[in-house]
Amino acid sequence: MTAIDHLVIVAGGKGTRLSALFGDIPKALVPVGGKPVLQHQLELAAKAGVRSATIFAGFLADQIAAFVGDGSRFGMTIAIRVEDAPLGNAGAVLQSLDILPERFFVMYGDVMMAVDLERMARFHLDHAAAFTAFVHPNDHPFDSDLIEADADGRVTALHNAPHAPHRVYDNLVNAALYVVERNALAPAPGKQDFTKDVMPGLIASGARVLAYRSAEYIKDMGTSERLARVEADLESGKLDLANSGKPRAAVFLDRDGTLNVEKGFLASPDGLELLPGVGAALKSLRQAGYSLVVVTNQPVIARGEASEDDVAAIHRRLEWELGKEGAYLDAVYLCPHHPDKGFAGERPELKIACQCRKPGTAMVEQACRELNLNAKASWMIGDQTRDVELARRAGLRAILVRTGTAGRDANFSATPDFVADDLRAAADLILEQKKAAA
């Protein structure tokens, strides 16, 4: 049961862009899979042990009040607060702090999700955050509101769309799900917005604002096109409400020679070039429900040929280019170490034997912990024998691709489960195996 037992839902929206389908209806009552979005949200919260909620309603608030009643059918106590005038997604909350508990979740009323709220609550409490924002990658970062965070997950900046054409940011999308410490907020008059007003103010004040990165499903359904996608995801099983919180299957991916053209020790984003068909392959795996995680050795850092910032820029470019093809990664894990010495400019503190350098399993283990992944149901795709050996040690099934090194390094004798011409063919093999096992 979550240590945070109160939920705030901001549900003042009119659903204007959905009126052609449903007439005049609050967005929170638009049905998905035969049930209003609001019902899905309340049931998810109740499952996590949330026992009370405050719903800030506006347009046709009486319909929302009639639907939820006192909340007892959801195992909750629910209060409805009605906005006399639109106050943005944060205004009503900031004007009602006196009636809210010391910490609470915040959801927007037009977001469908299958999120482990207990896990997010533990993250918030364990890291002593003032404000925690759920962030995730998506397939269109170039027109999304993005969050910038440091290596410790502390939010340092927000970048609202539209973005300048030449700018490339991390693919960290603000998903409109928060955990908030009431004492971190202050009353404010008029319209207020969490991403434009509240979060920037907290960051400027030095408050501990954290990004909680997750591969779990969360998507707004505020337009007919988005609603259709959410409905399709529910029908296909990609949006699995019954299994929210359970470990998921993943496909772990090598980087150089698997996703992008092998060019030796890549030290600049200018040299990144996606291999043909990579975007389509990742999209097909994503649609089948797999999380997608890169695990890559980057000895260029230890050798002094590139800094951590240089490699981060390469990965921003990688995710940006994938976004152009409608694909995205859940996370990128890298090993900066290199045990061999004798390079000009090398960094002695990184010239060590470690457990994260493939075929060591530490990156996979970290991803499984942080992203709630099931290694036994997962795969590894790479172009080197170290990728195959990693899979053997970590309990993953392995596919060796004939791109890049194509296994010619011969450093390890482990045998892959399959060999494929490229990532597209490897994805097809995984999907065939999934279908056969169904």
Question: Catalytic amino acids?
Answer: 254, 256
Burial class (CB within 10 angstroms; exposed 0-12, middle 13-18, buried 19+) of 37: buried
DSSP string covering 224-257: HHHHHHHHHHHHHTSS-STTTTS-B-EEEE-SBT
- Residues 35 and 198: their CA atoms lie apart, in Å, by 32
Q: How far apart are the C-alpha atoms of 340 and 207, rounded to whole Å?
A: 42
CB of 26 closer than 8 Å to CB of 64: yes
Give the span between the Cα atoms of 275 and 116, in whole angstroms: 35
Q: Which two tokens stand for residue 204?
A: 């400027």
CA torsion through residues 403, 404, 408, 412, sign = negative
Give the CA distances from residue 316 to residues 7, 90, 155, 355, 391, in Å, rounded to whole numbers and listed in that order. Answer: 34, 30, 16, 25, 26
- Residue pair 258/49 in contact (Cβ under 8 Å)? The answer is no
Residues 262 and 256 sit within 8 Å (Cβ to Cβ): yes
Strand partners, 51: none
Distance CA 224, CA 155 (A): 32
Handedness of CA 101, 102, 103, 106 (dihedral sign): positive
* C-beta of residue 158 within 8 angstroms of C-beta of residue 148: yes
